[in-house]
Structure 1
Amino acid sequence: MPDLSQSDPAKVAASRAAVALVRDGMKLGLGTGSTAAIMVQVLAERVKAEGLNLRCAATSKATTDLAESLGIKIETLDEIGWLDLTIDGADEVDPDLHLIKGGGGAHLREKVVAMASDRMVVIADPGKVVDQLGAFPLPVEVLHFGFETTRKLIRRALDTLDLGQTEVLQRLKGSDPWVTDEGNLILDLHLGVIPDAHALARALAAIPGVVEHGLFLGICDLAIIGKADGTVVELDRDADIDADRLAGEGD
């Protein structure tokens, strides 16, 4: 088992608070990314210590490999069916608990799993809490077929929404294209700010070559923000989120 004492204390705190919501017999969705990886380690500790009987679906091959290496059996989503709870990280969280996800390239599977859950809980450090989405590049998973055409259509949609100076860059892994677990490519939209996330989500979804985008709107039920001192703040959609205050508390 990896040594959690060497991990970011804010991420560990958020992970422990989220895993405390897990009950024996639950059907769980396990997210992807650096914070979700810590959560999986914390979950494995509980499974080992308490003998929890869980059924878990993973949102990526990386999470599957990690979970199984720690003794957590992973099943497919179709084998399990509907989930009680999904715990995942986020790249940005706004005051309405809208998210940008996909920094780890798994937002397609993450969205499928989250939407197949009674409840989605996001874990993050204070730096992920923002007043308005957009500083983090928005990932868009696209098909190989017609790749450049899809990129042009995305640029056209961004121009129509009058988003100002933007960049649409292909994500690479080293010098090679980043290929998702589903065999697709990723375009990262460098927008700076997203004034109307719902309008952007609709515009991207209407482009045939777009498989899925990283805007998670109205999906997250609870955000648990861990702080460096080991405490957490729980945010729901009715919370008054002060991103600057939370960021300061995380120092």
Structure 2
Amino acid sequence: MTQVNTPLLVTKGLTKRFGGLVAIDDVNLTVSQGQLHCLIGPNGAGKSTFFKCLTGQFKPSSGTVTLEGQQAQGLQTQEIVRRGVGIKTQTPSLFDGLSVHENISLSALRSQSRAQAADTLEEMLSMFQITHLVRREVGQLAHGQRQLVELAIVLAAKPKLVLLDEPAAGMTGDDRVRLTQILRDLARRTTFIVVEHDMQFIGDIATNVTVFNRGRVFAEGSFAEIMARSDVQEIYLGKEVDVAA
């Protein structure tokens, strides 16, 4: 996979406090174009808080976030999306009373003509292998199918950067394999930041891994480099490795 080392997202000194609790502390992170960058660490390490600062759900207490060199910290979620960022939270956010066709088309139409949106719909249906679901109401779908449809909705907007919070959660079998292949294929032209607990899934997709602990960045590197470190294995991943294996 060819990567272009152009910073797409950079955080410097990013900190979030809740009263006397420091949830994330002086986080410096650079994500370049073409990366599939996974954020891992034990529960309470600060991953979710960091993700919410990136997505506009939380306003950082201090520090900066830049997207393609432009300041982004403190922006509302919709403003971040308008800058070309796709966001998928852990809980699927879908219009349950509408069909798969309608959900994906509405996303595409926000930035594309009707003809372009129609082409995007067909592209998403084919990519996610969900053409057979196109007329189904989203509220009638199984959990794994809903996860795939929501990712299709996010990608239908043609984002430059996609932020995913536990995209494999609750997936089994074919849906998980399909998601892995889709992310690998898309990473050739789209940049991803993924918060995930499933170590096997991370090993299948990650080009870069950042380990969080106690609100700070503890380690960074490739998946192989991270897994080779005894301090990461013993202190920060521990039983998660065994559970996911």
**TM-score, shorter chain, exceeding 0.5:** no
Taking structure 1 as the reference length, the TM-score comes to 0.33
Which structure: greater helix fraction?
2
